[in-house]
Amino acid sequence: MIFMRETKHWQRVLFPDDPNYVYREKEEEKYEEFLSYIKENDSPIPEDLKKSVALRFVQANDYKISVAVQNLVEHLEWKRTYLPITLSEASKEGLMKGYIYFYGRDKAF
């Protein structure tokens, strides 16, 4: 799905994970530029990073590849540091008492 803001400007809002999906010409060019940049700069980006994730970061950074790579590296470091979330015993007790519930369900569903 692509959101058209004006006649010349567009923004993708869905990034398919299908490896056979062909993105727009500009997106494909920027993805190749992204791959070249991370290879030339020895960026610590995993080789198995999905194309859809890379393009999300590239688009979010207005197609500025160096900024997108920097933000992606920071994001991946954040994920390694803080995920998965571990709950303390006190947090688990509070959740089991039903003080907080998510998605409209309490501890008894």
Stated pTM of the model: 0.75
For residue 3, the cross-strand partners are: 11
Residue spans per domain, the chain: 2-96
pLDDT in single tens digits along all 109 residues of the chain: 676 666 567 888 899 999 889 999 999 999 999 999 999 999 999 999 999 999 999 999 999 999 999 999 999 999 999 999 888 998 888 888 877 666 666 666 6
67, 33 Cβ separation under 8 angstroms: no
DSSP structure class, residue 11: E
pLDDT in the model for residue 97? 85
User: Is 3.10.450.350 the CATH classification of the domain at 2-96?
Assistant: no
Contacts of 12 (CB under 8 A, 6+ apart): 1, 2, 3, 23, 24, 27, 55, 59
pLDDT in the model for residue 61? 96
- 76's tokens: 């991946």
